[in-house]
Amino acid sequence: MIRALSHLRMTPARRRAPECRTEVQVRGMTLIELMVAMALGSFLLLGAMTAFTQGQAAFRVNESTARLQENARLALAFLEDDVRMAGHFGLTTRPGDIENRASPMQPVPPGLAVRNDCGRNWAIDFDAPVAGTNNGFDWIGCSPSGQAQPDADIFFIIRRRDLSTPPDAMRRGTLYVRTARFGHGIIFDGVAPPEPPAEPPLQSRSFQLLSRGYYVSRRSSLDTPGNPVPSLRMKTLAGSSSGPRIVDQEVVPGVEDFQVQFGVDTDRAGALGRGSVNRYVNPGDPLLGPGDPAFLPEARILAVRIWLRVRAERPEQGFSDTREYDYADQDQTAPNDAYRRIVVTRTIQLRNARSSS
pLDDT score of 341 more than 50: yes
Q: Model confidence at 194, in pLDDT bands (50, 70, 90)?
A: low
Is the entire prediction scored with pTM above 0.85?
no
Selected residue with higher pLDDT from 42 and 175: 175
Work out the mean pLDDT of the chain and round it to a whole number: 84
Q: Are 179 and 91 in contact (CB under 8 A)?
A: yes
Q: What average pLDDT score do residues 74-94 get?
A: 89
**Distance of CA 230 to CAs 14, 139, 148, Å?**
105, 19, 9
| Residue 200 to residue 257: CA distance in whole angstroms | 48
pLDDT score of 268 more than 60: yes
